[in-house]
Copies of this chain bind each other. A is one copy, B any other.
Amino acid sequence: MASEQPLVAVTCTAPVNIAVIKYWGKRDEELILPINSSLSVTLHQDQLKTTTTAALSRDFTEDRIWLNGREEDVGQPRLQACLQEIRRLAREQRSPGSEDQPPLRLSGKVHVASVNNFPTAAGLASSAAGYACLVYALARVYGVESDLSEVARRGSGSACRSLHGGFVEWQMGQRADGKDSVARQVAPESHWPELRVLVLVVSAERKPTGSTAGMRTSMETSALLKFRAEAVVPVHMAEMTRCVKERDFQGFGQLTMKDSNQLHATCLDTFPPICYLNDTSRRIMQLVHRFNAHHGHTKVAYTFDAGPNAVIFTLDDTVAEFVAAVRHCFPPESNGDEFLKGLPLRPAPLSDELKALLGMDPTPGSIKYIIATQVGPGPQIVDDPQAHLLGPDGLPKPAA
């Protein structure tokens, strides 16, 4: 491939985030403006991340995108919204009255390749990390320096929260144009080093309702959702911010569970109802409440998104005992060695008293595996040119 100009490529990584105050319902479907603010914890990229390479070249004849090695339709509306928004910001940044030849970044086409380091089949919401990474990489390759909340949000609402590390709030904003609907860091990833996160990947027989369609139906039919957004979430946001700032795990954990339960309550109040929690999800909830009852206070908390997987928050002094309790109630079916992934944990014994209190019939195989992780930083630029997912020809490198 003969090229007059070299290919310009940037590779970035971005994290998954888990909301502890949930986003559900849009006040503007196109701009993706939410009916309430939300607050999330950014997970560490050592365990869960998206990697994206964006490349520009005058030789490219069209925009193209590959996700996990497979080419996807670049014309899908949300992808287009992000791309157009980045290009608009790039144009705005040119010095006014400049009469130079438009630089490569304003005239060339873009190629994008993106991969996740976790299986899509895990049912983890990968769109937030995916769009955050896409927008971050595009901004770098196009030289855009402004706040990217607005752009990431157009891809997937919660993606704007993956633009920061640590603890992040997405302020709902009031303006019709969404300029004030932005993500801000509440506390950095170093703020609460004892915090641990476990993703319990649950076997699910059915594909749940997608969150975009689900939110729309909830907005149209659930009276409880409107009440939650207006009367409850503002209180939850203030209280959660305090809990994070003061590293108050009791408060943090209880509010995380209450907010998750209320989100799923509004899903059930939707018509036809939306049920993301299955019997395994509910057994995990019961396990957490019994574990906390045994200890006399909230040492572990759950939260659930649009699927049956649980995300567990706890502290480093409790995580091993809780994993032992999970193993007791949900024994691995055949993958005992690979049941626990991510951060290494020292096995902990489970007291007979706690075993008796849990009082649950073991249901082997209903949790597929656990990913142990912690709070992590926001998107990163990968300096090593070897890390690019696109080769000098602008096409995805063969998987190693």
Residues of A in contact with B (beta carbons under 8 Å apart): 205, 221, 223-224, 227-228, 231-232, 254, 257-258, 261-262, 264-266, 268-273, 275, 277-279, 282, 285, 289, 361
Q: Which of B232, B268, B269 has a CB less than 8 Å from the CB of A223?
A: B232
Contact (A269, B273) CB under 8 Å given A227-B231, A228-B224, A232-B223: no
- A258→B269 CA distance, assembly (Å): 7
Chain B: CB-nearest residue to A360: B206
Q: Which of B205, B268, B272 has a CB less than 8 Å from the CB of A268?
A: B268
- A361→B206 CA distance, assembly (Å): 10
**In the assembled complex, how far is the CB of residue A271 from the closest CB belonging to chain B, in whole angstroms?**
5
Chain B: CB-nearest residue to A285: B273
Q: Which of B231, B265, B271, B278 has a CB less than 8 Å from the CB of A254?
A: B271
Interface of A is mostly: helix
A273: chain B residues within 8 A (beta carbon): 257, 261, 285
A–B complex contacts, Cβ < 8 Å, 18 sampled: A223-B228, A223-B231, A224-B227, A224-B269, A227-B231, A258-B269, A258-B271, A261-B268, A261-B269, A262-B269, A264-B268, A265-B265, A268-B268, A272-B285, A273-B285, A278-B279, A278-B282, A279-B279
Task: In the A-B complex, list the 10 residue pairs whose CB atoms are closest, starting with the nearest.
Answer: A265-B265, A265-B269, A265-B268, A279-B279, A272-B289, A227-B227, A261-B273, A275-B282, A262-B269, A224-B224
A261: chain B residues within 8 A (beta carbon): 268-271, 273
A232: chain B residues within 8 A (beta carbon): 223-224
**In the assembled complex, how far is the CB of residue A90 from the closest CB belonging to chain B, in whole angstroms?**
46
- A341→B223 CA distance, assembly (Å): 38
**In the assembled complex, how far is the CB of residue A160 from the closest CB belonging to chain B, in whole angstroms?**
27
- A270→B262 CA distance, assembly (Å): 8
A285: chain B residues within 8 A (beta carbon): 272-273, 275
- A273→B265 CA distance, assembly (Å): 10
- A102→B27 CA distance, assembly (Å): 72
A269: chain B residues within 8 A (beta carbon): 224, 258, 261-262, 265
**In the assembled complex, how far is the CB of residue A358 from the closest CB belonging to chain B, in whole angstroms?**
13
A279: chain B residues within 8 A (beta carbon): 278-279
